[in-house]
C-alpha cells in the first residue's frame, strides 16, 4: 500500500493532535510497521487554526518533515476547507474528509479528489463529547476515515482510543466513531486512490 500522508486541519480545542495520535496508534495496532504523528508548531490557543500530521506506511517511516501535499486531509472545521485544499495541498485522486452537514457533492463539486462528509458536530453533541461547552469532533472523524478510506479498521481504532483515554471516555468516544462510520457520505472521483469500502472488516 506504500506511504499514506494524512494532514489534520482544525482549531484549538477540537482535539486535532489527539486524533492524529489515535490514528497512528490504531494503524500500528493493525500491523503497519511505520507510523508517525506530529503537531505543526504554531499558535495553539483555543479557536486558532492548527494542523497535525499522521504518516502510515508498510515500511519504517524515515520522513519527518511537514506534509506539503497530503493523500488524505481531515478537516474538523468546515470554514478551513478552502485553506486546506487550495494550491495542490491534496494529491490528485486523494481524499478529503470534512465535518459538514452538507453532502459531498454540495460541498466540493468538480474536484480532482474524493470528498467525504459527516456531521461530526451533531454526533459529538449526541454522545456528549464536549470541552468548555464546545463539541469535540475529533473522534467521530476517525470513524469517517475508516469508512471512506478503508485504511484502518473500527476494531483497531477502538483499541487505539482505549490506549489514549480512560475507560468511560473511551466507551462514549467509540460510540461516536461507530455512528460517524455509519453516517459518512462519500463522493468518489474517477479512479480514486481511496475507494469506498467497509473498513470494519479489517482492510489490511
Question: What digits encode the pLDDT tens for the residues 132-168?
Answer: 888 999 999 999 999 999 999 999 999 999 999 999 8
The label of the residue with cell 459518512 reads: 184
Kindly calculate the radius of gyration of the chain based on its CA atoms and give it in whole angstroms: 15
Q: Residue 42: what pLDDT? A: 56
Predicted confidence (pLDDT) per residue in 104-119, tens digit: 999 977 788 899 999 9
Tell me what the pLDDT averaged over the chain comes to. Answer: 88
Identify the band that residue 129 occupies on the pLDDT scale cut at 50, 70 and 90.
very high
Say what the pTM is. 0.90
14 versus 201: the higher-pLDDT residue is 14
Q: How many residues does the chain have?
A: 204
The three-point CA angle 66-164-116 to 5° equals: 55
Amino acid at each position: 500500500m506504500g506511504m499514506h500522508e494524512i494532514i489534520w486541519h482544525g482549531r484549538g480545542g477540537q482535539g486535532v493532535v489527539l486524533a492524529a495520535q489515535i490514528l497512528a496508534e490504531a494503524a500500528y495496532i493493525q500491523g503497519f510497521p511505520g507510523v508517525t504523528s506530529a503537531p505543526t508548531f504554531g499558535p495553539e490557543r483555543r479557536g486558532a487554526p492548527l494542523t497535525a500530521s499522521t504518516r502510515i506506511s508498510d515500511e519504517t517511516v524515515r520522513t519527518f518533515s511537514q506534509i506539503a501535499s497530503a493523500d488524505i486531509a481531515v478537516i474538523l472545521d468546515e470554514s478551513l476547507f478552502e485553506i486546506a485544499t487550495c494550491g495542490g495541498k491534496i494529491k490528485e485522486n486523494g481524499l478529503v474528509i470534512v465535518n459538514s452537514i452538507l453532502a459531498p457533492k454540495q460541498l466540493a463539486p468538480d474536484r480532482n479528489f474524493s470528498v467525504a462528509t459527516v456531521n461530526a458536530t451533531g454526533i459529538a453533541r449526541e454522545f456528549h463529547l464536549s470541552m468548555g461547552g464546545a463539541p469535540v469532533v475529533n473522534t467521530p472523524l476517525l470513524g469517517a476515515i475508516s469508512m471512506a478510506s478503508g485504511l484502518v479498521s473500527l476494531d483497531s481504532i477502538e483499541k487505539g482510543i482505549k490506549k489514549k483515554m480512560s475507560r468511560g471516555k473511551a466507551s462514549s468516544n467509540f460510540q461516536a466513531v461507530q455512528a460517524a462510520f455509519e453516517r459518512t457520505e462519500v463522493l468518489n472521483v474517477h479512479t480514486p486512490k481511496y475507494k469506498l469500502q467497509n473498513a470494519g472488516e479489517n482492510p489490511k
